Amino acid sequence: MVSDNKKKLVQELVREIKEYPIVAIVNFENLPAQQLQKMRAMLREKGVVLSMTRKRLITLALKESHNPDIEKLIERVKGMPALLFSKDNPFSLYATLQRNKSEAPAKAGQVAPKEIIVKAGPTNFAPGPIISELASVGIKTKVEKGKLAIVEDTIVAKEGATITQKLADTLKRLDIKPMEVGLDLVAVWENGLVFDAKQLHIDEKEFIQSIMDAARFAMNLAIEIAYPTQDTMELLVQKAGRDARTISIESAFLTEDTKGDILSRSEQHALSVTKEAGL
């Protein structure tokens, strides 16, 4: 039997689901209480509402909202779930949560959020028992200048794999912190579309570079096809001047600007002919 308080809570969630164009499922499992409070305050400043309640009530509210295809979010509810409501866009929401995560060492029993890779290169370890410890998790080593060096990049855990105690200890010794502490965005609903977190990841540096490349290619194309715009007019006039000068010189059409080059070119041709003829 659902209590009146729980019914009211579900109805409040339904109201928010209908009010906000962006509804997200997040997982705050393993998130320390102090950091959770900081995240809540940060989200509030950005106009994002965080609603935390039981998984069963979240599922019920999603069903009762009757928003198109929002039930797809139910399949993605996991861990210690909560709902986020925003009027921004899914990509911005994902980026905000990612920027506010911090690195943390791995603990036994945790699930790898992504591939954990140990990079090749020197270490500060002297040869000893550490060799077999590293080998036990698949890391090959060799001795260089009295210290151990990792021979090649090694994937020690695939995304979704459970981290063992042995691997957690090894990563700690290597000072590798593969875990991310923060609100884990699982999926976002927007206007009937559901995006998984992976689909919202954008490499900002790569994205900016792509925009710069596109602008450069567009400018080059506009110049090549002589497409006049405010940005291309000056370059087009300069190119036209260069092309006209080249045609004038190639066709020996004398002008005040080209006569010097034409006479110099004619003299070079004459000297070449004289040399070839042995005159």
Return the higher-pLDDT residue of 206 and 144. 144
CATH of the domain at 8: 3.30.70.1730
pLDDT surpassing 60 at residue 2: no
18 & 40 share domain: yes
Confidence of residue 169 (pLDDT cuts 50, 70, 90): very high
Residue 109 covered by a domain: no
pLDDT of residue 279: 64
pLDDT mean over 257-266 = 76
Per-residue confidence at 121, pLDDT binned at 50, 70, 90?
very high
Neighbours of 270 (CB within 10 A): 10
User: What mean pLDDT comes out for the span 154-183?
Assistant: 91
196 lies in the same domain as 90: yes
3 state DSSP class of 55 = helix
**Structure token digits, residue 272:** 């070449």
Q: Which two tokens stand for residue 43?
A: 């989200």
Q: What is the pLDDT of residues 82-119, one digit of tens each?
A: 999 999 899 999 999 988 888 888 889 888 888 999 99
In three-state secondary structure terms, 77 is coil
186 shares a domain with 94: yes
- Asked if 96 and 120 sit in the same domain, the reply is no
- Domain total of the chain: 3
Taking residues 191-212, what's their average pLDDT? 86
164 plus 196 within the same structural domain: no
Q: Give the dihedral of Cα atoms 197, 199, 201, 204; nearest 10 deg.
A: -160
Rounded-to-integer distance, Cα 276 and Cα 110, Å: 83
Give the whole-angstrom CA distance, residue 241 versus residue 237.
6
Does residue 108 form part of some domain?
no
- CATH number for position 144: 3.90.105.20
- pLDDT score at 249: 77
Q: Which of 26-35, 188-197, 235-244 has the highest mean pLDDT?
A: 188-197
59 closest CA partner among 40, 76, 39? 76
Residue 14 has pLDDT above 80, yes or no: yes
Residue 11: predicted pLDDT: 92
In this structure, the answer to whether residues 136 and 266 fall within a common structural domain is: no
Same domain, 74 and 189: yes
Quick check: 155 pLDDT over 90?
yes
pLDDT in tens, 28-41: 887 888 888 888 88
* 145 within domain boundaries: yes
- For the chain, give percent helix, strand, coil, nearest 5: 50, 20, 35
The overall average pLDDT reported for the chain is 88
Selected residue with higher pLDDT from 53 and 4: 53
* CA gap 70, 62 in Å, rounded: 7
Q: Count CB neighbours of 94 within 10 A.
A: 20
Band the pLDDT of 12: cuts 50, 70, 90.
Answer: very high
- Domain with 138, as residue range(s), is 116-179
- Assess whether pLDDT exceeds 90 at residue 187: yes
